[in-house]
């Protein structure tokens, strides 16, 4: 799919496994509204935060095997979201491609850098010290960024530079990612694919 300046960048998909069922509808050029229900309150909060600051319109529901733990729900929501974003971006022509941001959350400060290169890569260090925040394991919050990078086919670098409160660190990281994505997906007014290869 070749994207044009007037073509709406939207995607709808369902990801169904024996562990989860995720349904997503999103519009890249939105107003930041969201309706998220994953069964995990903290994940809902982070996904709504991501949508708001990326300016995505996002509907996401997940029914997962929370009787096992939160891993499959967090992972599959990230995989589905990355796939939907990849689909909505089409061939990625006319986008800025790169984005970076610093985002504070009270005493915490996070840095996020994104390259919508068509190649999955990740480097994530949230510097978390607690086992859980709310109903989500801290290790799964780091895994969210890794999983998203895979299906979005992007290089995603997220580091928490300072902070004491793990809730604040994670929220700063999601806000930083949102702001970096917002820059990377922005339309530049050009029609070409932003790569000397001619493809992303």
Residue 4 lies in a domain: no
- 197 lies in a domain? no
E strands in 9-134: 10-16, 20-27, 34-37, 57-64, 98-105, 108-115, 121-125, 132-133
- d(CA 124, CA 63) in angstroms, rounded, equals 27
* Position 93 in a domain: yes
In a domain, 16, yes or no: yes
The pair of three-digit structure tokens given for residue 126, joined into one six-digit string:
């949230």
Per the domain annotation, does 55 fall within a domain?
A: yes
Least confident of 6-10, 30-34, 40-44, 102-106: 6-10
Q: Is the pLDDT of residue 2 over 70?
A: no
Residue 44 lies in a domain: yes
**Looking at residues 1-30, what average pLDDT do you find?**
88
Query: How many domains does the chain contain in total?
Result: 1
Q: What domain range is 153 assigned to?
A: 10-184
| pLDDT tens-digit readout, 70-84 | 999 999 999 999 999
- Residue 174 domain-assigned (yes or no): yes
The pLDDT assigned to 4 comes to: 53
CATH code for position 19: 3.30.230.40
Residue 2 covered by a domain: no
């Amino acid at each position: 799919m070749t994207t044009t300046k007037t073509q709406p960048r939207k995607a709808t998909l369902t990801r169904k496994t024996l562990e989860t069922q995720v349904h997503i509808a999103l519009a890249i050029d939105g107003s930041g509204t969201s309706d998220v229900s994953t069964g995990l309150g903290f994940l809902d909060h982070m996904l709504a935060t991501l949508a708001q600051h990326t300016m995505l319109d996002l509907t996401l529901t997940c029914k997962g095997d929370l009787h096992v733990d939160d891993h499959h729900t967090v992972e599959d929501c990230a995989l589905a979201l990355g796939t939907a974003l990849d689909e909505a971006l089409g061939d990625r022509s006319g986008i800025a491609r790169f984005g970076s941001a610093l985002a504070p959350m009270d005493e915490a400060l996070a840095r996020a850098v994104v390259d919508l290169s068509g190649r999955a890569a990740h480097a994530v260090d949230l510097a978390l010290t607690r086992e859980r925040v709310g109903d989500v394991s801290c290790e799964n919050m780091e895994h969210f960024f890794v999983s998203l990078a895979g299906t979005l086919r992007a290089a995603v670098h997220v580091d928490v530079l300072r902070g004491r409160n793990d809730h604040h660190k994670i929220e700063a990281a999601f806000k930083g990612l949102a702001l970096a994505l917002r820059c990377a997906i922005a339309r530049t007014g050009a029609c070409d694919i932003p790569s000397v290869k001619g493809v992303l």
